[in-house]
Amino acid sequence: MAKEKAKSKAKSKEKTEKAKNTGSKIDLELDLRGLMCPLPMVRVSQTITKVPVGGVIRAVATDPGSLADIPSWARTTGNEVLKTERDGKDIIFLVKRVK
């Protein structure tokens, strides 16, 4: 139990560190690994309303199509992709709800 707590604490610290890179607090984590186009974009679109305006979603996808899809979706819906980075197979997006 104590081990799990420590693990969770470390994970949370890691998230905070990553968020610091963009100066944003992460409000929601979204695991989109294994989903194929267009589902990563669909899930981000569905989930964005679950965070408050100004809130940030950290979405992790593996579908390469999401690299263009999610930023294009953000442009058309008035939201903002704060950061996109690749970590091995993972593609990590920080998406901010603007309106």
Partner 1 sequence: MNKAELKAVTGVLDKGMNRQLLYYLDVCTRCSICKDACHQYVSTGDVLFLPAYRAELIRRVYKKYFTRSGLFLPSLYEGREVDDRLLDELYRSTYACTGCRRCMYYCPFSIDTTWLLGVAKAMLIAAGRGAQILTELAGAAIAKGENIDLFKDIMLDLNKETEKELQSLVNDPTAAIPIEKEGADILYAALAGVHSILPPAVIFHKAGLNWTLSLFESSNYGYFLGDAEKGRIIAKRIVDEATRLKVKEVVISECGHAYRVMQYLYETWANEKLPFRVTAMVEIIARLIREGHVEIPSGKERKLVTYHDPCQVGRNAGFYDEPRYVLSQVASNLRELTPNREKNWCCGGGGGLVAQPEFDEFRIKTGERKAEQIKQTRAGLVVSPCENCRLQIAALNEKYDLDIKVTGLSDVVANQLIGRDIATSFEAGQAEEPESED
Residues designated as active site? 37
Residue type, 27: D
93 binds partner 1 (CB under 8 A): no
Task: Collapse the DSSP code of 59 into the 3-class scheme (helix H, G, I; strand E, B; otherwise coil) and give the result.
Answer: strand
Residues 6+ apart with CB under 8 A from 21: 83
Site string for partner 1, 25-64 (x = CB under 8 A): -----------xxxx-xx--xx---------------xxx
Phi/psi at 15 (5° precision): -60, -45
Measured from the CB atom, is 51 or 71 closer to partner 1? 71
| Chosen residue from 69, 93, 94, 95 binding partner 1 by CB under 8 A | 69
Closest CA to 97 of 18, 25, 35, 15: 25
Q: Which residues bind partner 1 (CB under 8 A)?
A: 36-39, 41-42, 45-46, 62-69, 71-73, 75-77, 89
